[in-house]
Amino acid sequence: MISRIQQSFPVLLCLLGVLIWPPSAGAEPINRAVPQNQVQMQMSFAPLVKKVAPAVVNIYTSRTVSRMVSPFMNDPFFGQFFGRQGFGGRMRDQVENSLGSGVIIDAAGLVVTNAHVIDGADEIKVVLGDGREFTATLALEDEASDLALLRLETDGAELPYVSLKPSEQLEVGDIVIAIGNPFGVGQTVTSGIVSAQGRSSLDINDFNFFIQTDAAINPGNSGGPLVAMDGGVVGINTAIFSRDGGSLGIGFAIPSEMVASVVAAEAEGLSGAGGVLRPWLGVTAQGVTADIAESLGMELPSGALIAGLHSASPLTEAGLKAGDVVTAVNGRAIRDAAEMKFRMATVPIGEETSVEFFRAGQSRSVKVAAIAPPDDPPREATELSGQHPLNGATIGNLNPAVAIELGLGEADMEGVIVLAVARGSSAARLVRPGDILLEINNKSIDDISDVMQALDSAQHMGWGFVFNRNGQTRELVLR
């Protein structure tokens, strides 16, 4: 099972990724050198592999799915009329299996992998390089970052493990190795270089900030580690550019900074059913083009131009406003809006971080608090019933917390949103979760009370609804 995301080539999520490091400030510079003689050219990665490979695991998952089984499903004649509906068949449970890779990050048996590797799994089995097998339970699944944490049921068995290393210490051209289980053939090691840092135009996960490498990564490598020459894990391999599913030398890994934030969130209980609870900025931003940089008097076209701010945004509280350009977060230069989002996502909630920005020809710096998405105004979840088309819908007041939960982003939206819809209800034929109600029978909808009044005062001569779905306004009239 490989999902495809259309870009210039299809992007493939490879199905088949550590201890948190101390602050890197003041770290000794890394001495890099090109091999100078035949002896150096014959140096081997074997000591590095022996150090890291024992902590890399194969992950096998299974899940039960219901499928329609029919003698007509594969018949081309009946397929014209019934497609995949399974005319004349019955529903049967089938077991699907998939595999991927992971890496053990502590002696207690905590494993990092990709969320898409274990998505929907009923059973998870982890196999170490030495042949030992363990049952694993899901500790945390964070779809936003495509990371997951598993706990092994070890009964006190000793386990190998590895440590994270800040990916920011990497430079383009540094040698790295990738370890995983491509195509299920068994543990495999490939080498390459860091091709780029901070790739942000891929639309693979919610943060779109990746290490690019030419180390061969294939289906099955997902969740395995990308390793620096000192044995530190700098990333979790997650996707490739490919035409046919094979490696073309363009692979992507989630930076170790994001991995560390997920591990910390799990340890501190800052997660829920939807994944990790991350800082909320309440901002819409865009990259700075050459024309924008020139108009603002900036020397280089870099940074995140603030296009809009929520009234409750911590950036608003710190004094930023639309038109400012964020140039650095916590001392790290910001190239675009995706990097600003990534940097802030790794700041623990409750802490403050420094934000540098450019305004009116001057650079300024402020402290910005990392806050959770506000659940204000109160959502007041209400299940609707009665003789009207919205019977069976659960609605609530829209606020930042609700918007984040439903994947609507951080725009400054207000009104009433559909939270859930009962299957087979009247509302199921009209609305979906995430729809924002704008008008009912020409009455503007601002909060829950407006909905209730509009439904109660209807004359039953017909219904008119205006709602927003995926950014588009739709109007529906029922007679």
List active site positions.
Answer: 116, 146, 222
Distance CA 393, CA 382 (A): 8
Neighbours of 360 (CB within 10 A): 9
Of 246, 73, 228, 263, residue with least CA distance to 150: 263
Distance CA 416, CA 378 (A): 11
Extract long-range pairs of 453-460: CB within 8 Å, 24+ residues apart. 455/384, 455/386, 455/388, 455/390, 458/388, 460/387
Residue 390 and residue 437 in contact, taking contact as beta carbons nearer than 8 Å: no
Distance CA 477, CA 440 (A): 10
Listed in sequence order, the residues at least 6 apart from 297 whose beta carbon sits closer than 8 Å to its beta carbon are 361
Distance CA 221, CA 186 (A): 10
Of 14, 11, 17, 20, residue with least CA distance to 1: 14
Residue 194 and residue 213 in contact, taking contact as beta carbons nearer than 8 Å: yes
CB-based burial of residue 156 (10 Å sphere; 0-12 exposed, 13-18 middle, 19+ buried)?
exposed
Distance CA 465, CA 469 (A): 12
- Describe the chain by its helix, strand, coil percentages, rounded to 5: 15, 35, 45
Distance CA 363, CA 365 (A): 7
Instruction: Name the DSSP class of 265.
Output: H
- The 3-state DSSP class for residue 419 equals strand
Of 324, 377, 206, 347, residue with least CA distance to 278: 347
